[in-house]
Amino acid sequence: MANDPSNKVADELARLRGQVNHHNHLYHTLDQPELSDAEFDLLFQRLQQLESQNPDLVDANSPTRRVGGAPLAAFTQVTHEVPMLSLDNAFGADDMSDFERRIQTRLSITDPITFACEPKIDGVAISLLYEGGRLIRAATRGDGTTGENITDNARTIASVPLELMGDSYPDRLEVRGEVYMSLSGFDEMNREAEATGDKVFANPRNATAGSLRQLNSRLTAKRPLTMFCYSVGVVEGGALPERHSDILTSLAGWGFRMNPLIEVVKGVDACNRYFTRLQEIRSTLDYEIDGCVFKVDSISEQETLGFLTRTPRWAIAHKFPAEEGVTRLLDVEFQVGRTGAITPVARLEPVKLAGVTISNATLHNMDEVQRLGLVIGDMVKIQRAGDVIPKIVGVLPELRADDSRKVLLPGACPACGSDIVQPEGEVIARCSGGLSCGAQRKESIRHFASRLALDIGGLGDKLVEQLVDEQLIETTADLFQLGEESLVALPRMGAKSVNNLLVSIEDSKKTTLARFIYSLGISEVGEATARNLALHFHDLQPLREASVESLQEVDDVGPIVAEKIAAFFGQKNNQAVIDQLVDAGVCWEPEVVEAPTSRRGLSGETVVLTGTLLKLTRNDAKARLQALGAKVSGSVSSKTSFVVAGDAAGSKLTKAQELGVLVLTEQDLIDLLEGG
């Protein structure tokens, strides 16, 4: 049995999982990565490949499962073995003094109490249960006694260990923490939602709660969630330290992420100083806090103090006061987001709220300006409350000055001078200079190099950031002018990585017209629309010269999308970059854009793919179906010709069965594709 191939595969899988978990911990928890993005991707892809080839050896806690699994029909209920209690609140220094006096009285001491102090994260509390060091269940707090089973969703959060590090942890351990969304991650998610017309979340906490309660964990995996741990619940088969602060240190050693602002202090006066200090730095943090939590550090003292009905006597939350003020709107300026969205930003007469000077506030879009009835010169109400980012919540029209003036959307992009377009009925206005706009530069290059566009391997997000920040590239065309000398000088770019990147850039020159159109990053032009444009116009030049009317003759291109395409090609800056790309050697074969003929047996058929395909990638299956003339849809209806059901197919399979739609296996699909 020593030479059994399955044993070797299992050993390699175990080694790869350990390496991926180790590097995930370095990156997401310690912020000390040892591998470049490209090197990590190769490691992760090898693990994915082995697991797809050996599905019987797939582990439920494999790091590949962080991408999510099949959708659930509903959440099951979880009863907390140790209740997740609420905290009593303090609203000032007097309340804090009373809190310490009550503790001293119950403990029959007069010495100052030693407290563990931590920021109160404005997120969602969850419970993580580990047995033998492996995550077996995650649950929401719920009402403190009963929560919901969110194990699949918790597994997608990179800072949640799937297996504990070391070997000194208890056999059975429940860890509690606060899941939250960073402000930068929240802003980026909302910008992407605005760009695609999806729902925009009101604040990070709502976004976090909604993400954790997704029945489809693949959606949760796309959300920028992370977690700070703050305590333990069930502990069996092992002992923990005698101080709360030391328990947190142990948790950090087992792979959990701890808030760096946690401190241990002596006496309530030190607690109050900690509170003031956090209030002062609150606006500089990349996550929302709404106060501080103070806990008696000694576990034996906690046990002596005990609990009231719903709160522990040994802990208290000191909330920050609500923050609102009145100031004057001096001007409205317009910023360009990475996807070209034009966002109005209020410039305010500086006003101090709870020790923080506010001079700017977000206005989201012109609809928000209209809703508020805002004009420049108005006296406005500013609020921070639980939100670190200030916003205008109201106008005082009775104080409006005679020289006030309307807020007008500019006609040209403030970053590059290209036309700003806002099709009728759309909320978001956008810069049309996608290829040449400095504000969109990084996003434009990322998209251009992505797998479904020109597929430039090794050009990850961090490398794009470096290339732009070091002013080595300004547009996508500059990628084809990169040389070995400039790349080797970059951090983490050895000779082999540089050579691989340059080879990939060279290989990417030969593409298809559909991929090239998609790579341009035209608003609303996804893979399917790019393919339809390629099939309709057959070459790039006719598309560049197409009118709005002729564009609407293309399948799935309506008036709004046609306007956006025409506006994009109408910008001289975009045309110049396209010319540079062609001059650099980017080309495509004419035959790849031939329209389907009657010999293509799936012309006019509508197909839905669901579940995990083990032999084909989803994109490969989709492309091959489209090459046979089929339309690949994301939803099942009575008009669906057939559904291809892969592993762990969910609600789409159920609906197909209810409607009597033909269901094929993955092997059926392969046979169909090979038969043409």
pLDDT tens string 503-538: 999 999 999 999 999 999 998 888 878 888 998 898
Which of 432, 592, 602, 409 has the alpha carbon at shortest distance from 515?
592
According to the model, what pLDDT value does residue 653 have? 85
Query: Any bridge partners for residue 664, and if so which?
Result: 644
Cα dist from 150 to 116, 129, 213, whole Å: 29, 12, 7
pLDDT at 456: 94
pLDDT at 597 (0 to 100): 42
Per-residue pLDDT at 6: 62
- Which tokens hold the place of 359? 């001079």
Tokens 């992420």 sit on residue: 257
| Helix ranges restricted to H, 36-92 | 37-53
Q: Is the pTM of this model over 0.85?
A: no
Question: Residue 626 and residue 634: Cα distance in Å, rounded?
Answer: 14
* Percentages of the chain per state (helix, strand, coil), in multiples of 5: 40, 20, 40
Identity at 641, one-letter amino acid code:
S
The pLDDT, as a whole number, for residue 212 is: 92
Question: What pLDDT, on a 0 to 100 scale, did the predictor assign at position 591?
Answer: 42
Q: Provide CB contacts within 8 A for 583, sequence distance 6+.
A: none
DSSP-derived letter for residue 131 is: E
Q: Which residues of the chain have pLDDT under 50?
A: 1-2, 386-387, 591-599
Do residues 24 and 165 touch, judged by C-beta distance below 8 A?
no
Question: Which structure tokens are listed for 107?
Answer: 């403990």
* Domains annotated on the chain, with CATH: 5-59 (1.10.287.610), 88-319 (3.30.470.30), 324-406 (2.40.50.140), 420-592 (1.10.150.20), 606-675 (3.40.50.10190)
Residue type, 86: S
Q: Which two tokens stand for residue 204?
A: 């990070």
pLDDT at 509: 95
CA 512 – CA 538 distance, rounded (Å): 11
Cβ–Cβ contacts within 10 Å for residue 385, how many?
Answer: 16
Burial 318-355 (b: 16+ CB within 10 A, else e): bbbeebebebebeebebebbbbbbbbbebebeebebbe
* The pLDDT value given to residue 422: 85
Given the structure tokens 């001078």, which residue do they identify? 417
CB 574 within 8 A of CB 416: no
From residue 610, how far is each of 214, 241, 359 by CA, in Å? 18, 49, 50
How many other CB atoms are found less than 10 A from the CB of residue 68?
Answer: 18
> What is the set of active-site residues?
120
